[in-house]
Structure 1
Amino acid sequence: MDLQRLATASRLANIDAFHVMELAKQAAELERAGRHIIHMGIGEPDFTAAEPVVRAAEAAMRRGVTQYTSALGIAPLREAIAGYYKTMYGIDIPARRVVVTAGASAALLLACAVLVEIGAEVLMPDPSYPCNRHFVAAFDGRAKMIPSGPAQRFQLTAQQVETHWGEQTRGVLLASPSNPTGTSILPDELARILKAVRTRQGFAIVDEIYQGLSYDAPPVSALSLDDDVITVNSFSKYFNMTGWRLGWLVVPDELVGAFEKVAQNLFICASAVAQHAALACFSPEALAIYDARKAEFHRRRDAIVPALESLGLRVPVKPDGAFYVYADCRGVNHPSAGDADALTQAMLHDAGVVLVPGQDFGPYTASDYIRISYATSMENIEEAMARLGKFFA
């Protein structure tokens, strides 16, 4: 007897698979066959949690603080995050507005659950981190991807927001610095974007998870430009705690109750152990470690950009943050120039280097660009550039 197949929700048609994960699977197969593969695809720091954080986690577990916490997070951590905004950005954020989440992904899911109506349109640049449009789709909204090239620093501009805001548009979702490009929205432009959104009574969600890794100028939080903006941050990137799954939001006072209600139902709370451990992130000892690691990322950025240019991988906008370079592959000496998917496949199989084609990040730059992550050692970066030099020769 034939069994009736279970039907999946129609919204899944609007959620794409990660192409980078397919490359990762192929790389794993090559490694099992004995090949040495250099991974410059996944956006994960090669540094792990700082020792003070590890000690704090161990102490928390020994004290038995492993039960559920408030859905908004433990009070000491919310206060520590609020203090971080004062130290980092010079702005006063009341701790009551901080919502601790199970990573930045949970933060973005909560924001979309609270703000995205069925059929609502959310503007974001193309290229963007792919999950951003999928978070919107998960709540039956629609991401409107706006082509944003080197002239716009691969970011939205206020003019684009004004031009593309339509009847169904409800807000914008931005990231500064951005994945995949490592570029920031300049403060004056960001202020104009937020003004354009406020004028239209829309919402603005700004992903700031890479702001701690800003190299060329002090970072400017969107909260210093507009108190009603919703910002997302994380302990994953600057604080090197990817697998701990801990992040946070800062939301307007009037929305705290809404975020709490949704968080209670969707997540209950973030990991109690991770929250208690994260308190140590703000200690002088830990902050000194993070500053040293940031300097190392900066050094890698300054090494890899000219190396890529020398290979014919043009970098039209120098990344000023995060640990990514978005490189134009149309000018390289290879039959697959201008076909990022085929080129990254060839780089993997012929040179043993994993890079990410632009197709994950939106159709506008899909074929012309590849993303390179320099969240790996200088030794690996130098070896990868040497391999790619032979590959293109």
Structure 2
Amino acid sequence: MNNVSEPLLRLASRVDAIEPFYVMELMKDAQALERTGRDIIHMGIGEPDFTAPEPVTRAAADALHRGVTQYTNALGVTALREAIAAHYRDAFGLTVDPARIVVTAGASAALLLACMALVDHGDEVLMPDPCYPCNRHFVSAADGKPVLIPSGPAERFQLTAEQVRANWNDRTRGVLLASPSNPTGTSIEPGELSRIVDTVRERGGFTIVDEIYQGLSYDAKPVSALSFGDDVVTVNSFSKYFSMTGWRLGWLVVPHAMIGAVEKLSQNLFICASALAQHAALACFEPETIAIYEARRLEFKRRRDYIVPALRSLGFGVPVVPDGAFYVYADTNGVHHPAAGDSGALTRSMLHDAGVVLVPGADFGVHAPERYIRLSYATAYAKLEEAVARLGDLFRR
């Protein structure tokens, strides 16, 4: 038996800048309750209840049988990059050079590569508060400083060009946006996004736009940030609209001048995205598969159109109706419950007393997060109805 004590290792200081993902802690509690036999309705994790459709799984099986499972080019399989470019043409009317498309190991890898390529030590990057927590952590991982700007209902929980101008200083390097957004499900109005891009460009900065939920838009035809110039960097994913979360596949669109830098980073940090997932994803763009995805998009819209008025009937405020993704960012102040206005305590009560998982605002920002909860309606319609019934019973006690 080795009695030598394990030495204490000094961790890198960047670890301190990355906070825990609180939703995962709540999920641990939910799983513990489930192990005791409790029935828990999950409306916390942002994962579609739909999985990859049959044409995609069939393509994966075919690729596996053909043995196309070896390393690919660090930028991705050429056929997939061309298919993504064709998707921009068909969905947005945009001409995108396939050479600008970098296939990545999920949108997370795409965001990390973009930040590693553009953010220097101490650079400040503007983003809205609330926002997806990992986005600011990617900036921190690149030794940059995320600057969270309070963005409330009046701004649709998004940055505005005026806010960018007001908060830009000598240390500011760029902006990192998401449209539609997690946690709010709100998009940046195209005219406002164009003004943001122009404002950043005038200051010599970069604009990164996370568009992973863009396929799940409900009230208007979506407009990609690529429409506003070839210098804009966009991030997308096969996880949400394409229902391939665990396949870990995404992509970047970068300016021509960035291709070499991103390729070098990708070669060293990731080698390549999963070859099997890339060959399977080619089937995502077939007409029969797109028809499946569009039917699923309409089902998400149906769920949104149910859950927003249902939440309001329970006393939640929904100050901005989400127009995309599968989230509602709801104000808890009007709920008839002792923990109203304290989203952490309220979500714990909803879990333990009603068996419903929702996410407190603490994950998504630092400006008044205690008021808000995030609800994911990426679950079956019948489960949404049952969750509303359970919460109604809880709030009537």
**Aligned Cα RMSD in Å?**
0.7
Matched, 1:188 2:191: yes
Number of equivalenced pairs: 393
Which of residues 135, 140, 143 in structure 2 aligns to 1:140? 143
Q: Which residue of 1 aligns with 2:304?
A: 301
1:233-312 alignment, distance < 5 Å: 233-312=236-315
Per the alignment, do residues 265 and 335 of structure 1 end up closer, same or farther by CA in structure 2, a change over 3 Å counting? same
Which of residues 362, 367, 377 in structure 2 aligns to 1:364? 367
Matched, 1:317 2:323: no
Find the aligned partners of 1:295 and 1:109 in 2 and give their Cα distance: 31
Find the aligned partners of 2:187 and 2:332 in 1 and give their Cα distance: 22
Find the aligned partners of 2:392 and 2:291 in 1 and give their Cα distance: 36
Task: Summarize deviations over 1:43-98 as a string: whole Å, max 9, x none.
Answer: 00000001000000000000000000000000000000000000000010010000
Secondary structure at 2:116 match in 1: helix
Secondary structure at 1:212 match in 2: coil
Q: Which runs of 5+ in 2 are unaligned?
A: none
Matched, 1:382 2:394: no
Q: Which residue of 2 aligns with 1:118?
A: 121
Q: Which runs of 5+ in 1 are unaligned?
A: none
AA aligned opposite 2:316: L
Secondary structure at 1:211 match in 2: coil
Matched, 1:159 2:162: yes
Point out 4+ residue stretches in structure 1 off by more than 6 angstroms: none
Which of residues 71, 84, 87 in structure 2 aligns to 1:84? 87
1:197-216 alignment, distance < 5 Å: 197-216=200-219
Q: Which residue of 1 aligns with 2:64?
A: 61
Find the aligned partners of 2:122 and 2:192 in 1 and give their Cα distance: 28
1:19-34 alignment, distance < 5 Å: 19-34=22-37
AA aligned opposite 2:244: M
AA aligned opposite 1:218: K
8 Å contact kept, 1:73–1:99: yes
TM-score (norm 1): 0.99
Find the aligned partners of 1:52 and 1:162 in 2 and give their Cα distance: 47
Task: Summarize deviations over 1:18-48 as a string: whole Å, max 9, x none.
Answer: 1100110000000000100000000000000
Secondary structure at 1:270 match in 2: coil
Task: Summarize deviations over 1:106-145 as a string: whole Å, max 9, x none.
Answer: 0000001100100000000000000001000011100000
8 Å contact kept, 1:127–1:365: no
Shift in Å, 1:3: 4.7
Matched, 1:221 2:224: yes
- Percent identical among aligned pairs is 69
Shift in Å, 1:2: 5.4
AA aligned opposite 2:60: A
Find the aligned partners of 1:59 and 1:254 in 2 and give their Cα distance: 36
TM-score (norm 2): 0.98
Secondary structure at 1:391 match in 2: helix
